[in-house]
A = this chain, B = another copy of it.
Amino acid sequence: MKHDVPPDSIPPRGHEAKRASIMDAAGEVFCRESFAGANIDMIAAEAGVSRQTIYNHHGDKEKLFVAIVRDLTERCNAGIFATISTFPDQPKDLEADLIAFAVRMTRNCICNRDGKFLRKLIQTEGERYPELFAEWREQGPGRTWPAIAARFARLAHAGFLDIEDPDVAARQFQALANAELQTTFMLGGTPTDDEVLQSATHGVRTFLRAFAKRQPAADAQKHSALAGA
């Protein structure tokens, strides 16, 4: 009798290990070589699996590719939402807290493996897969930008910022935080921790020069918390 399968119950066990290993390797290879440049034997070798196993799991090269993009989109979204949940709603030190948030965003969502891979695949193959593209756009930017904007709106409402359009502010925040990393990103490189911190610091400072609530009195941010509450 098979009624005692574990409650979670993904069928076998080594089976899933192979599957994960294939996904890993395929992401790496597709990203490095582009869809057309990648070949199944490379992926099989990198995954430590026979070519046939890949065909057993995924059918063909294109289905495998689609599975990779879906998987990366999901994982990246999860990471982004996790990071958004660390947004400083009640900042002690507005500048420091926003810098730290910007650094987390860049490091954990843009520079990490999944972020780099997804970005590259979208850039490289986005035009050839309109449906996949539409799906990513809805699930990714379509959901994350409003979430970030909502956090900035809250911060403004609490009296920390002087913002008219939270959507615009959210995009500008992100753009400023990564302003000095664009060339590196363009080439698929990974900036050092120090470069990330530099760019985030400069970016947040400029952001606050533009949007920090201006007080008549001197020491601004600390008191504005009271004003907002």
Contacts and interface: CB of A to CB of B under 8 A. Distances in A.
Q: What is the predominant secondary structure among interface residues of chain A facing chain B?
A: helix
A119 B185 CA distance: 12
Interface of A: 32-37, 119-120, 122-124, 126-127, 133, 137, 141, 165, 168, 171-172, 174-176, 178-180, 182-183, 186-188, 202-203, 206-207, 209-211
Nearest to A125: B34
A147 B73 CA distance: 38
Nearest to A170: B179
A182 B170 CA distance: 13
Contacts of A133: 187
Contacts of A127: 32, 187-188
Contact of A168 (B34, B186, B202): B202
Contacts of A175: 175-176, 178-179, 182, 203
